Amino acid sequence: MSKQILCLPGDGIGPEIVVEALKVLDVVKSQFDLDIEVSEGLVGGASLDAHGVPLTDEVLAVAKKSDGILFGAVGGPKWDDQPMMNRPERGLLKLRSEMGLFANLRPAMLFPQLAEASSLKHELVAGLDILIVRELTGGIYFGEPRGVRTLENGEREGYNSYVYRESEIKRIAKVAFEAAQKRGGRLTSVDKSNVLEVTALWRELVTEMGAADYSDVELSHMYVDNAAMQLVRAPKQFDVMVTGNMFGDILSDCAAMLTGSIGMLPSASLNEANQGMYEPVHGSAPDIAGQGKANPLAQILSLAMLLRYSLGEIEAADAIEKAVSDVLDQGLRTGDIASEGCTQVGTTEMGDAVVKCL
């Protein structure tokens, strides 16, 4: 049976870069004889304009039946005065929660050709390739009870709950172990088990799983404060890192910025059925939308992740990543990654160049 990809371009530069990813998909489909059907839908501001809501039930239903969703970006000044519950971003949040996308995969890759874009020294980051696996639907961001209460003496107190169930810890750890098996075979689990009971349970369970089911993965543990230090001291020591929602939020943004180029970074959010939503880390970039300047490579690399993680088409994914590296070798750069001695190109030319390399 053919695999289904739902394409949700969204707003701003979203549609411009998704078109380039679809060109790339067409090529790998014929090259690797992939049986994939692509449909398209509206999300975010585009859906608000057409239907009055950022995500319709119809599009959500198609999303739930898809093997993978290729998502562009949503939002922009046009919709900034919408009430909070009807903002474009709600479309994204609704997809995440309705589909149970609990595993957020955030690679921080630095193509050696772009090492000068990093704020760190060349030798520390050239060839950097880390994958951060962040739990996305639990932990302190969702734990109950939560709120602000007034104490007897009239002072107010804010409180949140850091809660993880065994089943939640095990399912995110499984994603991370399996990702490590597909990559360099090393996993670092990040916690604060010296202070927080919930993460002591986390460490205990991850250790058990490693010994029982993943003896081929080299497992280590690190406290989160040390992990933050190590990320900026010697980031290349890591292969896959797994951690809870809040630590992962912070560490993944830190790792992303080691690469210095927001237009290059893809991400994936997966559920238990291995369905996933794949999107660039960046937003809809309204400041450059409609000008043909946007870097389509984060979107194209998001497509590669879709093929790798939700469709299991490893060869096609590898080929796309290699083609991206090849266009960088040729010295082609969009404005966001431009440097001296390189050829500056627009969105379409960059997409065409990737197609040609394939």
What's the Cα-to-Cα distance from 210 to each of 89, 139, 203, 215, 285, rounded to whole Å? 37, 22, 10, 6, 41
Does the annotation place 202 within a ligand binding site?
no
Contact 102, 141 (CB under 8 A): no
> Minimal distance in Å, beta carbon 267 to Mg ion?
11
127 backbone φψ class: left, alpha, beta (φ>0; ψ -120 to 50) = left
- x/- track of binding to ligand NAI for residues 177-216 (CB under 6 A): ----------------------------------------
| 225 is known as an active-site residue | yes
Catalytic residue among 11, 249, 278, 309: 249
| 253 is known as an active-site residue | yes
User: Hey, is 344 helix, strand or coil?
Assistant: strand
> Minimal distance in Å, beta carbon 252 to Mg ion?
7
The answer to whether 100 contacts ligand NAI (rule: CB under 6 A) is no
Bond from prior residue into 145 cis (ω within 30 degrees of 0): yes
Q: Which of residues 307-336 bind ligand NAI (CB under 6 A)?
A: 334, 336
Return d(Cα 55, Cα 9) in angstroms, integer: 12
154 backbone φψ class: left, alpha, beta (φ>0; ψ -120 to 50) = left
Q: Which residue is nearest to Mg ion (CB)?
A: 249
Does the annotation place 313 within a ligand binding site?
no
The answer to whether 286 contacts ligand NAI (rule: CB under 6 A) is yes
The answer to whether 279 contacts Mg ion (rule: CB under 5 A) is no
Give the pair of three-digit tokens for residue 176. 């991370």
Catalytic residue among 164, 191, 192, 278: 192
* Phi, psi (deg, nearest 5) at residue 130: -115, 150
Does the annotation place 23 within a ligand binding site?
no
Partner residues linked to 120 by β-bridges: none
Does the annotation place 295 within a ligand binding site?
yes
| 223 is known as an active-site residue | no
Q: Which residue is nearest to ligand NAI (CB)?
A: 283
Alpha-helical runs (H) found in the chain: 14-31, 45-51, 57-65, 88-98, 122-125, 166-182, 197-213, 224-233, 245-259, 297-305, 314-329, 347-357
Does the annotation place 296 within a ligand binding site?
no
Tell me which of Mg ion, ligand NAI, none is bound by residue 253, counting a contact when its beta carbon lies within the kind-specific cut-off of 5 to 8 angstroms. Answer: Mg ion
Output 193 or 261, the one with its CB closest to Mg ion. 261
The count of residues interacting with ligand NAI (CB under 6 A) is 22
> Minimal distance in Å, beta carbon 215 to ligand NAI?
37
Could you say which of 239, 249, 279, 321 contacts Mg ion (CB under 5 A)? 249
Output 73 or 206, the one with its CB closest to ligand NAI. 73
Does the annotation place 274 within a ligand binding site?
no
Return d(Cα 279, Cα 271) in angstroms, integer: 15
Interacting residue ranges for Mg ion, rule: CB under 5 A: 249, 253
- Catalytic residue numbers? 141, 192, 225, 249, 253
Binding site: residue ranges? 76-89, 96, 106, 134, 225, 249, 253, 283-295
